[in-house]
């Protein structure tokens, strides 16, 4: 079944003409998967909110009053803690498989999750969509070589074993390492703050819900 959808998508892509296609129409925001009827063993949600979510689930509505806010090209997984606190994370379409795995995990925990997406951008073949697009490729840097690092002005004789491209990549690698370290420190502070009761999820629940998923 999945191969058939992929084949149809390839056929449609081969006949695509940007001159006549017009503006992209993502459709409308819909619920792709919905397990809001699954309740945790220890449920402290108010009776009103529980009835409210049960009603939305039966009607297949994401919300009652406000319109969901989701940019095209993205998926949103929403869940509810046992006390009724709402959590949500947004991911690009190419992470559709990770989003579905997160949804399944949250369901096993009784956290009443759902996945929101655009009707014309459904990345799940099992419910009538097509395979998610591949992740965006990083731009390739052009390799510049020179006869000598000293002659080109890129270093002394001891640097002749490396090219300008190698030296630039070292700088980029160092910057990426610095950013990753800063992000890890920020995440650690966030977990500590949530462990003290700030935010929608405490540190233990955040680690369980997001284990193995990129943000």
Q: Which residue has the tokens 């296609």?
A: 21
Q: How far apart are CA 61 and CA 130, in angstroms?
A: 23
- At residue 36, what are phi and psi to the nearest 5 degrees? -70, -10
Q: How far apart are CA 51 and CA 38, in angstroms?
A: 13
Q: Which residue has the tokens 């819909």?
A: 30
Q: How far apart are CA 172 and CA 139, in angstroms?
A: 13
- CA nearest to 134, candidates 11, 6, 32: 6
Q: How far apart are CA 166 and CA 169, in angstroms?
A: 5
Q: How far apart are CA 44 and CA 39, in angstroms?
A: 10
Residue ranges per structural domain of the chain: 22-127, 149-210
Taking the chain, what is the end-to-end CA distance rounded to the nearest angstrom?
A: 30
pLDDT by residue for the chain (215 residues), tens only, comes to 445 545 555 555 566 566 666 678 888 999 999 998 888 878 888 888 888 888 888 888 888 777 888 999 999 999 998 888 888 999 999 999 999 999 999 999 889 999 999 999 999 998 888 888 888 887 777 766 655 444 444 555 554 556 655 665 676 677 778 878 888 887 888 777 777 765 544 545 555 554 444 44
Q: Return the biggest CA–CA distance within the chain.
A: 77
Half-sphere exposure of 43 (CA within 13 A, CB side): 18
pLDDT at 215: 44
């Amino acid at each position: 079944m999945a191969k058939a959808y992929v084949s149809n998508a390839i056929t449609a892509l081969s006949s695509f003409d940007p001159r006549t296609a017009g503006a992209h129409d993502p459709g409308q925001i819909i619920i792709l998967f919905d397990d809001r009827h699954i309740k945790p063993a220890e449920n402290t949600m108010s009776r009103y909110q529980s009835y409210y979510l049960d009603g939305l689930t039966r009607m297949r509505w994401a919300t009652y009053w406000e319109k969901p806010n989701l940019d095209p090209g993205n998926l949103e997984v929403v869940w509810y803690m046992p006390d009724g606190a709402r959590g949500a994370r947004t991911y690009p379409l190419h992470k559709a498989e990770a989003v579905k795995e997160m949804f399944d995990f949250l369901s096993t925990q009784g956290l009443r999750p759902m996945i929101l997406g655009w009707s014309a951008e459904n990345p799940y073949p099992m419910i009538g969509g097509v395979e998610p697009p591949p992740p965006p490729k990083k731009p390739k840097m052009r390799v510049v070589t020179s006869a000598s690092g000293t002659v080109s002005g890129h270093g002394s004789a001891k640097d002749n074993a490396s090219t300008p491209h190698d030296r630039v990549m070292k700088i980029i690698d160092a910057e990426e390492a610095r950013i990753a370290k800063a992000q890890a420190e920020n995440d650690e502070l966030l977990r500590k703050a949530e462990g003290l009761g700030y935010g929608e999820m405490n540190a233990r629940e955040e680690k369980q819900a997001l284990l193995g998923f990129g943000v």
